[in-house]
Amino acid sequence: MDGEELLHGGDTEASWSLLPWMASLLMVFGGALPYVPQYQDIQRSNHSEGFSTRVCLVLLIANILRIFFWIGKQFELTLLLQSVVMILTMFAMLHLCCTVQNTNRVSTKQHRLSDLDVRYFWKWSVFEDYLLFCFGFTVLCAVVTLLLLDSAMFVETLGSLAVMFEAMLGFPQLLQNFHNCSTKGMSVKMVMLWTAGDVFKTVYFVMNESPAQFWVCSSVQILIDVAILLQVILYSQDTRFPLKNIDAGGNKSVPAADQ
């Protein structure tokens, strides 16, 4: 009897010891999961207009900054790995969006990073331009970090900037939905997974006593997630109009049959 109790106790202890590992794995890969349904939606519809690629910009900057923040202030390795996975995920999203947009493009004119036209910043036609921008930004961060690594104020500022950008993750999508007066083309599953992930992250950060910047960031993200979900309700199917009926100036065009 005592042997069975010891065996049962050992199994319970082993199960509890696995929980931190499972939580860490969820932290590393969980951030990328919300983009799976959005990726599938873009592939299926062959349109990317409903997804704001500026979400990718925000996350790329945030996670590059977070990597350099980790160099200056070693926190959990889990969060460093999460940043690497998220950067790769954003590149995958950008590659798909570029491919789809080039397939659907009517005009032969392309917008390149080398044009130095601010009107088309982060609206480039070639995926390699996004890689080049991120490479340049990474080199700049590396040089500045190398020069100021001994400054505690710089390191903390770096961390604050990283989480500030990450906190604004959903803001570009919020603005795009508002501009289009529609959530068509945006994966609602993605936003729901954002919300679930941000709640989980907030609890994880608090329980692991991560730097305060992290849980403040995730709390702001939850508020933005809720705002986007409210947009989904506001721009319901009855009031939503197709994105293709929105001209370049953001005005709603009326189909010929309705004129």
Please count the structural domains in the chain: 1
More confident residue, 64 or 198: 64
Q: Classify residue 235: in a domain, yes or no.
A: yes
Q: Does 220 score more than 80 pLDDT?
A: yes
- Global pTM reads 0.76
Q: Classify residue 9: in a domain, yes or no.
A: no
Q: Classify residue 15: in a domain, yes or no.
A: no
Q: Classify residue 256: in a domain, yes or no.
A: no
Q: Classify residue 258: in a domain, yes or no.
A: no
Share above pLDDT 90 across residues of the chain, in percent, rounded to a whole number: 30
Contacts 24+ apart (CB under 8 A), 175-178: 175/52, 176/50, 176/52, 176/54, 177/228, 177/231, 177/235, 178/231
Q: Which of 127, 159, 123 is closest to 141 using CA atoms?
A: 159
More confident residue, 201 or 136: 136
Note down the domain range covering 236.
24-251
pLDDT of residue 15: 53
pLDDT of residue 243: 47
Q: What value does the mean pLDDT take over residues 21-41?
A: 85
Label residue 7 by pLDDT band (50, 70, 90): very low
Q: Classify residue 7: in a domain, yes or no.
A: no
Q: Classify residue 11: in a domain, yes or no.
A: no
Q: What distance, in Å, lies between the first and last C-alpha atoms of the chain? A: 84
- Return all residues near 71 (Cβ < 8 A) that are at least 6 apart: 145, 149
pLDDT of residue 141: 94
Q: Classify residue 57: in a domain, yes or no.
A: yes
More confident residue, 130 or 16: 130
Residue with tokens 């570029």: 98
pLDDT of residue 203: 84
